[in-house]
Structure 1
Amino acid sequence: MSDAARAGRLRAALVGLRFGSLRLRLVAVFAAVALTAAVSASGIAYWLNRDAVLTRAQNAALDDFRASMSRNVGSLPVDPPCDELQQAANRMAAGTQGYEVLLISTDADGNQCAATSDRDLFTLDEVPEALQKAVAKVRPLTAENRAGYHLYWQRTTVGGRPFLVGGAKMIGNGPTGYMYKSLDAERSDLSSLAWSLGIATALALIGAALLAQAAAGTVLRPVQRLGDAARRLGEGRLDTRLRVSGTDELAELSRTFNSTAEALQRRVEELSTREAASRRFVADMSHELRTPLTAITAVTEVLEDEADALDPMIAPAVRLVVTETRRLGDLVENLMEVTRFDAGTAKLRLDEVDVADMVTACIDARAWLDAVELDAPRGILVRLDPRRLDVILANLIGNALKHGGSPVRVTVRTERPADGPGELVVEVADNGPGIPEDVLPHVFDRFYKADASRARSEGSGLGLSIARENALIHGGTITAANRPEGGAVFTLRLPMPPDESADPESESEEGDR
């Protein structure tokens, strides 16, 4: 697998794990639903089992206590001696249910006797007062109530341990009996049940997460393929298509993408064909114009030389023909240059030059020395295409002289950031009114002229566009801005390899002015 493919998969994985992604939301929703269902089911199961376990233990103990009371206490006299009452309590506690017994009565002498099977564990203090009052209360006899006393019970906690306390009074003013049963075994069973249900809930949550992951993969895999295809389509690979299988909504989406991509490819091919035809037309037209234009230029040069000898009424017309012929020649050359850029045939012919000498030669060749201030230290040697740099400088300086105010200042320097390669920086600033904010984004557009805000230009509107194309082919940029103190400034930046800049400090005083 290539490094690019591995990087793409890693990027896709990170996108999938990003918070708020569809995959994460699907897993979260599945997990939340599973957790809610599992907790609800476990809670219901726990409370049903808890009630069943406690009710079973409670009923078994109370039924046994009632039967034991009738068997062991019912045979005692009305005021039994304390020793017989103690023996009855011991017999009752020896049953299979494992509860303690407390019997309370009065003997023949009227003394209260309390017999307990275990004085350290069960006394009257462990019996809730509400339960004592309920046991001692006499119920009126009715058709529905055939006994004056009933068996009552209550679950309580003593020292953090659960107990069942029950009590009843024998009919006929007999002894009162209480039972005291530990529910530790039931609590242990319920704790085990709770742990089991908790583990089941956790396993259900894990299973739901795995199921959600699988479902998310099934759902999102076509979406991811669609996203990759759209990305390739955006990168210009117009032959990108998706493999369609199935009849669901995702398959329909894939078909729609394929039809859209096919229509886009046809449209782009049609536009490319038209654009290529337009470029050929401009190139052919420019080429065909050069031959007659060359002849016309030669004639106009002769007419210009003889203009002073011509009739004063004819001389202005001759000068106008000369001027417009030169403009037409410049326009043809610019069109041919633009055509080469569009066709991708523009090539660089690199040579090492001193930038200060290049700027000076550009200004001198066009007789701009009196209108331009130059701050360019000698010794800045850069490897570039001299002809294209001259085109850039001529367009920038000429634009500043036409539209800005004199003097135009050209500044040359180098910049070397700590974390990147060095740059050659050329600034062309004028003292004019500046560039309107709505015009700034369009100054490098072809054939764009801001006639309403600046003096009318006699150019073709291609100069700045060609300057930018020449900068781009060098790997540089040109930007336009307004200076705070007034006027516009164009900044050319061209990259410089590490060994192509020199320290110009020693020669900075020799820069041409």
Structure 2
Amino acid sequence: MRGERDGTPDGAVRGGRGAQGAGRRWTSLRVRLIVVFGLVALTAAVSASGIAYWLNREAVLTRTQDAALGDFKQEMQNRAAALPLRPTQEELRHTAELMAQGGGGYSVVLLGERDAGKPIVGVSDPDRFTLRDVPASLRAAVDEEQELTAGNRHSYHVFWLRTNLRGTPYLVGGTRVIGGGPTGYMLKSLEPERQDLASLGWSLGVATLLALLGSALLAQVAATTVLKPVHRLGEAARRLGEGKLDTRLRVSGTDELAELARTFNGAAESLQKKVADMSAREESSRRFVADMSHELRTPMTALTAVTEVLEEEQDSLDPMVAPAVTLVISETRRLNTLVENLMEVTRFDAGTAKLVLDDVDVADQVTACIDARAWLDAVELDAERGIVWRLDPRRLDVILANLIGNALKHGGSPVRVSVRTSGDDLIVRVRDHGPGIPEDVLPHVFDRFYKASASRPRSEGSGLGLSIAMENALVHGGDITAANSPDGDGAVFTLRLPRDGSSAAAGDGEGGDGGAGEGGTGRDGRGNGRGNDGSGDDGERDSGERRARG
């Protein structure tokens, strides 16, 4: 309740707005952009709508109450002040009705005194407004006489407040006639103003919703503008990772995304150049190894023939010359094996290694490999009979010769070979009882020319046997793994071959020379012939670069 001097309504309702956080983690950049745009637009729209609503509300209510209170004050001066000092109830009622009919749209209650201490009341509309409807606080403020000062020239003022009666908002005001006379109270309904403000609120709410939808559309456009280059960049990076090194982005504009595209193109071009240079050097190296191997094959044929003659005449040679001849024979065989292995590696690198598939009794094949190299006394065979697998018998012989020869040379007797099946896979395990493989060597046992001991850079083998064994397993669609025995007694090499190598053969084609490996070429086409040195690779737990199965 306030006086007319400040005009500020008392008891005004202040609304609060709580913010609720979703707490959800968004992973999509598009969704996050839309959410951020939406929040900004919502905040701006709600703030603008709230301010507009509040300003309009105050303006409407202030205009209505000023007009009503001004008219009521004027009526009090013109009509109530003209009443006698001790009016009758009928006079009060008639005056109240005249004041209410003045066009202000309010009801009036006039309170006078018939005698001292005997109040009488005149009401314009008893069904709408009586003295009981006047709040006690307002009556007390109206009846309180003000002290006259330089800034206050009147002892009584008009006071008002907004209240709700029977669910309807009203403006209640009151004052009294200065110098003696009745006290008047007025009641004006604010229902029309509430309806107008409700319509305004709905309009502002619709405007806020439209602003939110518009911001979502703008966010979608902005996200598309930003994310389309990012998506193209991601696709280009994926193609680049797949090996399509000629992938480039179309650059347009001068913004940060365009600069990013230029940087990507520069990086892709540099990568393509480096890969091309490396491929050219690798191809040159392969060609050199292949050419060297082929060029060495002719003199090696002559040397092999000479060594065979020397070997036949070895018993009749001078004892002083015999050691040198023995060394020449041994080194010539080693050199011949190295040349054959290099040619085999060249075939694998060039992708020309072919499978010649046949139905093979695996137990018989393993027995023939061991027997051909005179390993029967040093190798224990545990093979299930009747296991028939479709594979290249000569390449299987090369794999077995290298694995078993490696175990005999660098492991410890006895060497145990077990043959089992597991689902559609053939599992061949070669286990020795030596010191095992050092943990730092295990990852490199199939690397080409790898030597387990730096103190033995030169050995009888070439360091290619396990590599060739792995390549022969891969060309079948299988693989070889190396590990130490769980009980710490020796190493275990496990060969896994699928039941039918037809799928691998279909990719490679039929026919072709598969190479000997360190175990030597088979003379009867099944890998049963004795190899160059009658054993597998030098097995320095070495071998070649393992190529990924393609």
Q: TM-score range, shorter-chain basis?
A: 0.7 to 0.9
Q: 2 CA distance for matches of 1:40 and 1:52?
A: 18
Q: Summarize the alignment of residues 421-432 of structure 1 with structure 2, pairs less than 5 Å apart.
A: 422-432=424-434
Alignment of 1:36 with 2:43, yes or no, is yes
The answer to whether the 8 A contact 2:360-2:390 is kept is yes
Supply the distance in 2 between the matched residues of 1:380 and 1:454 (Cα, whole angstroms): 40
C-alpha displacement of 1:181: 2.5
Aligned to 1:492: 495
The residue identity in structure 2 corresponding to 1:489 is: V
Match of 2:407 among 375, 395, 400: 400
Is residue 114 from structure 1 mapped to residue 127 from structure 2 by the alignment?
Answer: no
**SS of aligned partner of 2:79:** helix
Alignment of 1:9-88 (within 5 A): 19-88=26-95
Question: Do the aligned residues in 2 keep the contact of 1:401 with 1:408 (CA within 8 Å)?
Answer: yes
Equivalents in 1 of 2:330, 2:161: separation in Å? 119
Give the alignment's TM-score, normalised by structure 2.
0.80
1:412/1:103 CA distance change after superposition, 3 Å: farther
**Which stretch of structure 1 is more off in the superposition, 252-261 or 185-194?**
252-261
Q: Which amino acid aligns with 1:209?
A: A
Q: Distance in 2 between matches of 1:232 and 1:217?
A: 22
| Aligned twin of 1:250 | 257
- Residue 238 of structure 2 is aligned to residue 231 of structure 1: yes
Per the TM alignment, residue 393 of structure 1 is displaced from its structure 2 partner at its CA by: 1.9
Tell me the SS of whatever aligns to 1:436.
Answer: coil
Shift of 1:497: 5.1
Per-residue Cα deviation, 1:199-225 (whole angstroms, up to 9, x for no partner):
211211111111111122122222222
Q: Which region of structure 1 is more displaced relative to structure 2, 146-155 or 52-61? A: 52-61
Q: Does 1:279 align with 2:286?
A: yes
Identity %: 71
Report the counterpart of residue 366 of structure 1 in structure 2. Answer: 373
Residue 109 of structure 1: how far off its partner (Å): 6.2
Higher relative contact order (CA closer than 8 Å, sequence separation 6+): 2
Q: Which has the higher helix share?
A: 1
Cα shift readout 1:362-420 (whole Å, capped 9, x = no counterpart): 2222222222232221222222222222222222222222232322222222223xxxx
Deviations 1:64-123 (A, max 9, x none): 222222233122112221222122223333444433322222213642123334445434
CA contact (8 A) 1:403 1:455 kept: no
| CA shift digits 1:457-513 (9 cap, x unpaired) | 63222222222222222222222223321232222222235999xxxxxxxxxxxxx
Q: Please list the CA deviations of residues 5-40 of structure 1 after superposition, one character each: whole Å capped at 9, or x if unmatched.
A: xxxxxxxxxxxxx94233233222222221221121
Q: Letter of the 1:361 partner, please give it.
A: A
Q: Deviations over 1:419-452 (max 9, x none)?
A: xxx2222222333333333222222211112116
The yes-or-no answer on 1:344 pairing with 2:351 is yes
CA drift at 1:284: 0.9
Checking the alignment, whether the CA contact within 8 Å between 1:406 and 1:431 is kept in structure 2 is: yes
The one of 481, 484, 507 equivalent to 1:482 is 484
CA distance in 2, matches of 1:127, 1:320: 131
Q: Report the equivalent of 2:332.
A: 325
RMSD over aligned Cα atoms: 2.7
Cα offset for 1:287?
0.9
Q: Are the equivalent residues in 1 in contact too, given 2:391–2:500 (CA < 8 A)? A: no
Structure 1 distance, partners of 2:320, 2:184, is 146
Q: CA deviation at 1:228?
A: 1.7
Task: Measure, in 1, the Cα distance between the counterparts of 2:407 and 2:168.
Answer: 97
- Output one character per residue of 1:286-305: Cα deviation in whole Å (capped at 9) or x when no partner: 11111211222222233334
Distance 1:383 1:102 in 2: 115
For residues 75 and 37 of structure 1, what CA distance do their matches in structure 2 show? 56
Partners of 2:103 and 2:301 lie apart in 1 by: 129
Compared CA separation, residues 164 and 482, structure 1 to 2 (3 A): farther
The answer on whether the counterparts of 1:436 and 1:453 sit within 8 Å (CA) in structure 2 is no
Shift of 1:348: 1.4
* Structure 1 partner of 2:514: none
Match of 1:4 in 2: none
Q: Residue 299 of structure 1 aligns to which amino acid in structure 2?
A: V
- The one-letter code sitting in structure 2 at the alignment partner of 1:217 is T
Distance 1:485 1:455, change over 3 A: farther
Give 2:6's aligned residue. none
Structure 1 residue aligned with 2:468: 466
What SS is found at the alignment partner of 1:107? strand
Other-structure match for 1:354: 361
**AA matched with 1:473:** V
User: Which residue is 2:300 aligned to?
Assistant: 293
Structure 1 residues 269-298: Cα deviation after superposition (integer angstroms, max 9, x where no partner) = 222222222111101111111121122222
Q: 1:197 aligns with which of 204, 210, 220?
A: 204
Structure 2 distance, partners of 1:480, 1:124, is: 106
